[in-house]
Amino acid sequence: MSEGKGAEVVLRLDRITKRFGALTANDAVSLTLRRGEVVALLGENGAGKTTLMNILFGHYVADEGSVEAFGQPLPPGNPRAALQAGVGMVHQHFTLAGNLTVLENIRLGTEGLWSRGHGGARAKVERLSRDFGLAVHPDAKVGRLSVGERQRVEILKALYRDARILILDEPTAVLTPQESEALFATLRKATALGLSVIFISHKLHEVMAIADRCVVLRHGRVVGEVDTHATDKGALAALMVGGELSLPRAEARAPGAVLMKLDSVSTPDRGAAPGLKKVTLDLRAGQITGLAGVSGNGQAALAEIIGGLALPAEGTILLKNAPVTGWSPGEALARGVARIPEDRHHQGSIADFDLTENAVLEAYRSRFSRRGWMNWRAAREFAETIIAGYDVRCPGPETRIRLLSGGNMQKLILGRAMAGGPETGGPEIILANQPVRGLDVGAIAYVQSQLIAARDRGSSVLLISEDLDEIMGLSDVIHVMSQGRLSPGFARGTMTAAELGLWMAGQKFGDRDAA
């Protein structure tokens, strides 16, 4: 921001190519970074951003191309060399040891293994955390820290090693809007001191807010490089997705009767994950209920209650105004609750089963067997219906599901969910837990439009997502979860992202309790 085009080039990636089997994750990607600037690396999930940075940092070895830091070539596949050259990386999945303290995590690997260690570490960490506004206690166990605090430790780790180039991989994915602002303030301090930053993101407003320049990746290729001053969100979005697609937005609609009601439901805490705290929630016919919040604030507990995987410790579940009895996953399915699980690989499918077997997992006893014998012909026809109806790209129903891309796997799970329900008239309640996480933009648009279509047919959809844009675009009514507490419902368009952010951070709950 401060020094512009004339400043020295600190980092140069030259025609990096990386293949994983048949997939070309990076295709001749080049990038330069100058002193004191923030370059955003923008692209959809799977565009190759993280792969590129892992090559830069030495976690992967590129098949072709070279990396140069401060004029010196970096040897490939060597994180230590990258660190010594002044490259610091904050990974999307933090690389911290939870059993060690903040200070220990920062010191790790900075001293000779056989030396006594030097005493100045604590003072240096304290100075850095003051200078860059990264408040965190040096003696706290990392395992007990919040996600935002862990990120600060990661940044401190890089700064402690005198990093001159900071790479941040999707740093805001796990933060509340307020925490993101604090992060941006830190980055501004860093660039003012002459550091350079690569900021990986797929969130346009963040890129516009923090970056000087923006490199857009699509399918592993650089499709554009623009100054953020000279562009706008729309142009960037078009570059990112290729301009062919726009995400669906649901139009407002009058809600119907309450299909399911949770009445002051509480569940016990599970380790660091909070349980539900007197949650009362109405799920209405013909309505999409959005559940916003940073993950790990009780969303999983709520999803388990609705899906029948767990029973409330206190409170009741009512279906059409009648308390449920014998609540279990089977009962939930029989009563018309369809589920799109959060983790499609581990909860939603069995990797080595073929598509037919995966398609009938929820109904093989009720609909696809007679007197204990499987009716494979009907099962296969059912799978073929889903494959055709939901555009699952695959060689055929006998393909093992592990070979499908995330998007196609999710389409099969979506089709399976939509085909369930009483007398197969379609599900009444659809529990969609992070339904588009990790999907490419085409699959996202498809899954979201199907959820809207289900709502228009009169189903009640509960959409759990960490992505505020998704929540605000689709939901008729929005609740926020924080520390297991549920906010009141906010009708479409009555809340800004910043206001929801305050709820996500838990600040508004105190107000309500006091009032």
Q: Which residue's CB is nearer to other proteins, number 61 or number 388?
A: 61
Name the minimum Å distance from CB 50 to other proteins. Answer: 9
Name the minimum Å distance from CB 189 to other proteins. Answer: 23
Name the minimum Å distance from CB 80 to other proteins. Answer: 3
Q: Which residues contact 62 (CB under 8 A, 6 or more apart)?
A: 16, 17, 18, 26, 55, 76
Name the minimum Å distance from CB 221 to other proteins. Answer: 19
Return d(Cα 440, Cα 113) in angstroms, integer. 44
Name the minimum Å distance from CB 336 to other proteins. Answer: 38
Q: Which residue's CB is nearer to other proteins, number 19 or number 189?
A: 19
Name the minimum Å distance from CB 58 to other proteins. Answer: 9
- Tokens for 290? 């959005």
For residue 318, give the H/E element and its range: strand 314-319
- Tokens for 30? 């080049």
Q: Which residues contact 86 (CB under 8 A, 6 or more apart)?
A: 69, 70, 162, 163, 164, 165
Return d(Cα 295, Cα 486) in angstroms, integer. 13
Name the minimum Å distance from CB 398 to other proteins. Answer: 26
Name the minimum Å distance from CB 328 to other proteins. Answer: 29
Q: Which residue's CB is nearer to other proteins, number 105 or number 459?
A: 105
Return d(Cα 174, Cα 193) in angstroms, integer. 26
Q: Which residue's CB is nearer to other proteins, number 150 or number 416?
A: 150
- Tokens for 253? 């609609």
Q: Which residues bind other proteins (CB under 8 A)?
A: 20, 54, 57, 59-61, 77, 79-80, 82-84, 89, 91, 93, 95-100, 104-105, 107-117, 157
Q: 198-218 burial, b for 16+ CB within 10 Å, e for fewer?
A: bbbbbbbebbbebbbbbbbbb
For residue 200, give the H/E element and its range: strand 196-201
Q: Which residue's CB is nearer to other proteins, number 142 or number 505?
A: 142
Confirm if 42 and 187 have CB atoms less than 8 A apart. Answer: no
Return d(Cα 30, Cα 223) in angstroms, integer. 11
Q: 446-483 burial, b for 16+ CB within 10 Å, e for fewer?
A: bbbebbbebbeeebbbbbbbbbbebbbebbbbbbbbbe
Confirm if 386 and 415 have CB atoms less than 8 A apart. Answer: yes
Return d(Cα 216, Cα 49) in angstroms, integer. 9
- Tokens for 445? 């648009």
Name the minimum Å distance from CB 100 to other proteins. Answer: 6
Name the minimum Å distance from CB 270 to other proteins. Answer: 15
Q: Which residue's CB is nearer to other proteins, number 34 or number 150?
A: 150
Q: Of 201, 111, 106, 108, give the one whose Cα is nearest residue 159.
A: 106
DSSP state of 64: E
Q: Which residue's CB is nearer to other proteins, number 217 or number 464?
A: 217
Q: Which residue's CB is nearer to other proteins, number 71 or number 98?
A: 98
Confirm if 88 and 109 have CB atoms less than 8 A apart. Answer: no
For residue 330, give the H/E element and its range: helix 329-334
Radius of gyration of the chain (CA): 25
Name the minimum Å distance from CB 508 to other proteins. Answer: 34
Q: Which residue's CB is nearer to other proteins, number 57 or number 382?
A: 57
Name the strands in the sheet holding 23-34, side by side, starting at the edge strand that comes first in the sequence: 23-34, 9-20, 64-69, 72-73
- In order of 142, 153, 185, the CA distances from 182 in angstroms are 20, 14, 5
Q: Which residue's CB is nearer to other proteins, number 83 or number 481?
A: 83
Sign of the dihedral through C-alpha 210, 214, 215, 219: positive
Q: Which residue's CB is nearer to other proteins, number 105 or number 487?
A: 105
Name the minimum Å distance from CB 145 to other proteins. Answer: 14
Q: Which residue's CB is nearer to other proteins, number 20 or number 376?
A: 20
Return d(Cα 40, Cα 171) in angstroms, integer. 12
Name the minimum Å distance from CB 108 to other proteins. Answer: 5
Q: Which residue's CB is nearer to other proteins, number 98 or number 256?
A: 98
Report the DSSP beta bridge partners of residue 40: 199, 214
